[in-house]
Structure formats: structure tokens, C-alpha cells
Amino acid sequence: MQAAARVLGFDEALAKVLAHAAALPRPQSETLALMACADRVLAETILADRDQPPFDRSTRDGFALRAADTAAPLKVVGQIRAGEQWQGGALEHGTTVEIMTGAPIPLAYDAVVMIEHIERDQDSIRLTAGRTIRSGENIVPQGSEARAGQSVLLPGTVIEGAEIALAAACGRSDLQVFRRPRVAIVATGDELVTLNATPGPQQIRNSNSYGLAALVARTGGVPVQMPIAPDRRAELERTIRAARDSDLILLSGGVSMGKYDLVEEVLEGLGAEFFFTGVKMQPGKPLVFGRLPATDEFPSQFFFGLPGNPVSTQVTFHCFVEPLLRAMGGATAQGPRFVQATLAEDVAGKPGLMRVLPARWTADRVRPEVRLVGWQGSGDLAANARANCYAVLPPERERFAAGDVITVLLR
């Protein structure tokens, strides 16, 4: 007997997943060399080890001076390059020092005029006609980016190039990062054969397991591909029990209403709590989300029962699995990456269902545009590979016209 149906709207189902993601405890951490931390999640607070910048810094190649002195020509008395400090003694009124981008400003001066904005006559300069300068112009004050001891990166931050550069600027050669969650991937179905097998006339290769493994790895998890589970209760239950040592179970297939769709029945027999057993969306309506209870050997464990059609599998992963998995890896809980783009063509909606359809997004600076990819339904792997995003069409409308601004799910 299957679990009682609980079909939610798209936004309600996503809110349910995000609520569980936000309530997750932080995972254990480990220390890695800085360059091994890319795409990992920070597990500690990074403090500035000194003021940033550590001195008043010039942002331009030009001349350091007193802004109040610029009514008359100024005498050039020296030069400062990046990495140098002014050593030429007291700087009197009416003087200026040539300075390079990134060099420290001598204490006597309060502005930098860009080299393009002066006229030079041997050893003196003057501002070009009509040009003025104010105190503080083209200078980044000491400590304006961060003060010594100030928090600059917080736990839960996904570490990318910008974060690595900032950590390096603070003198950090290693970082504490959260442990990556282990994700068991169980593909179900009598029609599936392994990748290297020769499929019979009614069989297909197990592509979902590989697609999900790639998505799990990119999202920060460690994929564990389990053996194919045939549509038999005992074998499916045995496979799920074998996956209990992972942090999350992803099952693909076996969640619809067919006679041999046994995933919910087997999970229910193992004491599962179901948060929802369907989502009002296309593709992906049979999606299941729940949790297996703790046992003497294992803690409680979240699971998703994903539809078996490969496009449905990947759409529901991006919409629902990815936010939970990122949070399981220690990242701050947040939803999928949605942006806005202009629809390039008329498209039919589906009243009552959120449509999330393979599409191509053109990243034009002025007017990002999205166009659906022609497809043959939720089994069309080739169409999904041609897409680079999904067009999200809400259930309230029957038609969407070219020129409408719609939501796009990035992947």
C-alpha cells in the first residue's frame, strides 16, 4: 500500500524543502590547503589580519598632492611606485609627487590627480583647464575595506575565486571546510541495464545514475552509485537498507501510480515520513520527499523519490534536491538560481501546473532572452543536453507571448 497522496504546489513544495534545509545541523569539518578549498563550504570565520588596505592607497597613476594647493603650478619633487614608501623628507605646500596605482599616499597629501588630467612643464604640473579635484579623490583610505580583526568571510560561504583571493590576502594558507555529504543514488526499474551491457529490444541503459552522480558532485556532494534495483520489493528494500550509511538517498523511478512503482510502498514499510508525494509541475509531478527514521545503527535520513524520465529527474534535482544538498554540505540554505529573461516566442502554459521546460538562455547584456528547446517529452535526453537552462512558466496563465518577461532556472 502506497503512502497517502500529498501533492503540493511548486512554491509550497520548495518552501517545505527549504524549511528542512534551514533546520539542518552543521556537518563536521576538516582542514584543507587553500587551493583545495575551491567549491567547498567554509566552516570557520576568517578575520582580517591587518587593515585592508594597510595604508591610504592610490587608485590611479598620477600625482599625489594637497587638494587645496592646485590653484597654482606644483613642483614635482619625486616619485613613489607600488611597494615603496615616501622617503624624501617633508613635503611642503606647492609640491607634488608622481605616484603609481597601488602605492601608499604620503601623509602630507590628501588627493591624487590622474595623469590624464594634468599638463606637465619640465618639473612642474598644473591641472588641465576646467579640472578640479577634491580631498580624498582617487584614494582608498586605510582600513576602509576591512579593519584588523574584522570578520571578512563567515561559515556557510561557498568558496570560489573571490573568497580564495580574500583568504590569501589575510595570510591564510589553509581553511576549515565542511565535510561533503555522501549521496546514495539508486536507479530502479526492470528495464535498466548497466552502462557496459548490450541492451535488449525493451531495455535502456542506466543513464539516470550517471547524470545524478554528476549533478551531486557539482553541488558539493560525494555520489555513491548503488546497483540497479529491479521492480521487486525485497530487492528494492535491500538496496535502500544498503544505502542507509549515506547522508541522503536519491531514488529514480518507481514513484508513479503503476503496478510496479514500488518505491513509496517500500519506504513506507521502512517507517518513512512523507513530506509530499507529488508536486504540481511539468515535468516532475510524481516527485516524493521524505525522511527515514533513525535506527540503532543509523541516524534519520532524508530521501527524494525522483521521477524516472531523465528530464524529470534532472529538473526536480535542480529545483528541490540541490537546495537541500547544498545545505547538507554546510552552505546557507537558499533556493534555486532564478533569473529573469525575455521570452523569444509564444509558448503555451498549463493551468494548474508549473511548467519547467528545457530552454536556451542568451546572456545578452541589454536584453537576456530565452527560447524553448524542441523536445519529445520528459524522456528526451538529447533535448535536455541542448538546453542550458529551464523556462519556468507559472500555472496561472494559458499563454505566454513573445516579449513577456519570465523566470529562468539556471543550471
Query: What pLDDT score does 336 carry?
Result: 96
Determine, yes or no, domain membership for 2: no
Task: Indicate whether 317 and 385 sit together in one domain.
Answer: no
Cα 39 versus chain centre, distance: 9
Task: Indicate whether 169 and 156 sit together in one domain.
Answer: yes
Task: Indicate whether 297 and 382 sit together in one domain.
Answer: no
336 vs 127, 183, 329, 333, 390, CA distance in Å?
52, 19, 16, 10, 12
136 vs 34, 58, 62, 207, CA distance in Å?
36, 10, 14, 61
395 vs 11, 77, 136, 153, 282, CA distance in Å?
11, 71, 54, 40, 10
Segment 358-376, tens digit of pLDDT: 999 997 778 899 999 999 9
Determine, yes or no, domain membership for 1: no
Task: Indicate whether 35 and 163 sit together in one domain.
Answer: yes
Identify which of 356, 390, 350 has the alpha carbon closest to the alpha carbon of residue 11: 356
Determine, yes or no, domain membership for 333: no
- 328, 352, 372: which is the final residue of a domain? 328
Task: Indicate whether 188 and 294 sit together in one domain.
Answer: yes
Segment 382-393, tens digit of pLDDT: 999 999 999 999
Segment 77-124, tens digit of pLDDT: 999 999 999 999 999 999 999 999 999 999 999 999 999 999 999 899
Q: Check whether 2 has a pLDDT greater than 60.
A: no
Determine, yes or no, domain membership for 272: yes
User: CB within 8 A of 213, min separation 6: which ones?
Assistant: 185, 223, 225
- C-alpha cell belonging to residue 182: 555522501
Task: Indicate whether 343 and 256 sit together in one domain.
Answer: no
Query: What pLDDT score does 326 carry?
Result: 97
Identify which of 196, 153, 174 has the alpha carbon closest to the alpha carbon of residue 46: 153
- 140, 167, 198: which is the final residue of a domain? 140
In the block, residue with C-alpha cell 552552505: 331
Give the span between the Cα atoms of 169 and 118, in whole angstroms.
34
Segment 60-83, tens digit of pLDDT: 999 999 999 999 999 999 999 999
Give the span between the Cα atoms of 248 and 301, in whole angstroms.
6
Q: What is the domain range of residue 79?
A: 57-140
Query: What pLDDT score does 134 carry?
Result: 97
Identify which of 298, 20, 41, 34 has the alpha carbon closest to the alpha carbon of residue 179: 41
Q: Is-contact 199 209, C-beta < 8 A?
A: no
Task: Indicate whether 190 and 324 sit together in one domain.
Answer: yes
DSSP 160-211: -HHHHHHHHHTT-SEEEEEPPPEEEEEEB-TTEE-TTS---TT-EE-HHHHH
Percent of the chain whose pLDDT exceeds 90: 93
Task: Indicate whether 406 and 344 sit together in one domain.
Answer: yes
Between 319 and 4, residue with greater pLDDT: 319
Q: State the DSSP code for 36.
A: G
Task: Indicate whether 210 and 310 sit together in one domain.
Answer: yes
Task: Indicate whether 101 and 43 sit together in one domain.
Answer: no
Segment 243-284, tens digit of pLDDT: 999 999 999 997 766 555 799 999 999 999 999 999 999 999
User: CB within 8 A of 96, min separation 6: which ones?
Assistant: 63, 64, 65, 74, 75, 76, 77, 109, 125
Q: Check whether 209 has a pLDDT greater than 70.
A: yes
What is the count of structural domains for the chain?
Answer: 4
- What CATH code is carried by the domain that includes residue 169? 3.90.105.10
- In three-state secondary structure terms, 48 is coil
Query: What pLDDT score does 27 carry?
Result: 96
Determine, yes or no, domain membership for 199: yes
Least confident piece of the model among 166-175, 358-367, 382-391, 397-406: 358-367
- What CATH code is carried by the domain that includes residue 351? 2.40.340.10
Determine, yes or no, domain membership for 161: yes
Query: What pLDDT score does 1 carry?
Result: 46
Query: What pLDDT score does 3 carry?
Result: 61
Q: Check whether 4 has a pLDDT greater than 80.
A: no
- What CATH code is carried by the domain that includes residue 218? 3.40.980.10
Q: Check whether 41 has a pLDDT greater than 90.
A: yes
Mean pLDDT value of segment 179-196: 94
Task: Indicate whether 195 and 280 sit together in one domain.
Answer: yes
Instruction: Spell out the alpha helix ranges (H) of 296-402.
Output: 310-316, 322-328, 381-386
- What CATH code is carried by the domain that includes residue 118? 2.170.190.11
Segment 213-245, tens digit of pLDDT: 999 999 999 999 999 999 899 999 999 999 999
Give the span between the Cα atoms of 53 and 28, in whole angstroms.
34
Other beta carbons within 10 Å of 265: 15
Q: What is the mean pLDDT of the chain?
A: 95
Determine, yes or no, domain membership for 390: yes
Say if residue 71 is exposed, middle or buried (CB neighbours under 10 Å; 0-12, 13-18, 19+): exposed
Q: How far apart are the first and last CA of the chain?
A: 36
Task: Indicate whether 205 and 300 sit together in one domain.
Answer: yes
- 217, containing H or E segment: helix 207-218
Least confident piece of the model among 88-97, 127-136, 196-205: 196-205
Determine, yes or no, domain membership for 354: yes
